[in-house]
Amino acid sequence: MHIAAARLVTGTRRTDHITPVLQSLHWLPVRQRVTFKLATLVHKCLNGRAPGYLADDVRLAGRGRPGSRSAASMMLDIPRTMTSLGDRAFAVAGPRVWSSLPPVIRDPSLSLSVFGKTAENLFVCLRVAALVTLNWRL
C-alpha cells in the first residue's frame, strides 16, 4: 500500500524503480512509521490529548517513588505479558517505544509539532545510518 501511494502521488510508472521515489518523498519505512505513530500516541496520552481508553494504558514508572531515576527520566511502566500477541497491545508496545526514545525526545512538555519533527528526524537519521552500515558491509 505504501508503494502504491507513492506511485500515485508522484505519477511514477509501475516499471520504474521505487527506492529513489520513496527517498525523495522522505517517507519512513512501514515499521519505522508504526513506531513513530506509537510514540506520537503515547505523547498525546501524556498530554491529555488522546482518548481515555488509550490514556488509561499509559502510566509513568516510579510514581510511588518520587526520587527514582525512572520517574525523573519520564520512563513508563511496561506491563508483562505471557505471549507475543500480548506484546503487540498498545498498553505494552506504546510504553516500550516511548522508553526506548532518547531523553531529549521523551519530554512530554514538548509541543506536539516539536515532538513530531524531532522524532521524525531521529527515525530518518536511524534509517540513513542503517543504509550506510549496509553499504559499508557490501
Three-state SS for 82-132 is CCHHHHCCHHHHHHHHHHHCCCCCCCCCCCHHHHHHHHHHHHHHHHHHHHH
Domain count, the chain: 1
Read off the C-alpha cell for 52. Answer: 481515555
Residue 128 lies in a domain: yes
pLDDT of residue 138: 45
* pLDDT higher than 90, residue 60: no
Note down the domain range covering 54.
19-137
Residue 78 lies in a domain: yes
Residue 4 lies in a domain: no
Question: Residue 56 — very low, low, confident or very high, per pLDDT cuts 50/70/90?
Answer: very high
What is the C-alpha separation between 68 and 74, in angstroms, rounded?
Answer: 10
Task: Quick: pLDDT tens for 99-133.
Answer: 998 888 888 888 999 998 888 888 878 776 766 66
pLDDT of residue 136: 53
pLDDT of residue 133: 63
Residue 92 lies in a domain: yes
Residue 73 dihedral angles phi and psi, to the nearest 5°: -95, 10
Residue 132 lies in a domain: yes
Task: Quick: pLDDT tens for 9-51.
Answer: 999 999 999 888 887 887 778 888 899 999 999 999 999 999 9
Residue 5 lies in a domain: no
Residue 58 lies in a domain: yes
Residue 8 lies in a domain: no
Cα-trace Rg, the chain:
18
Q: What is the mean pLDDT of residues 45-73?
A: 77
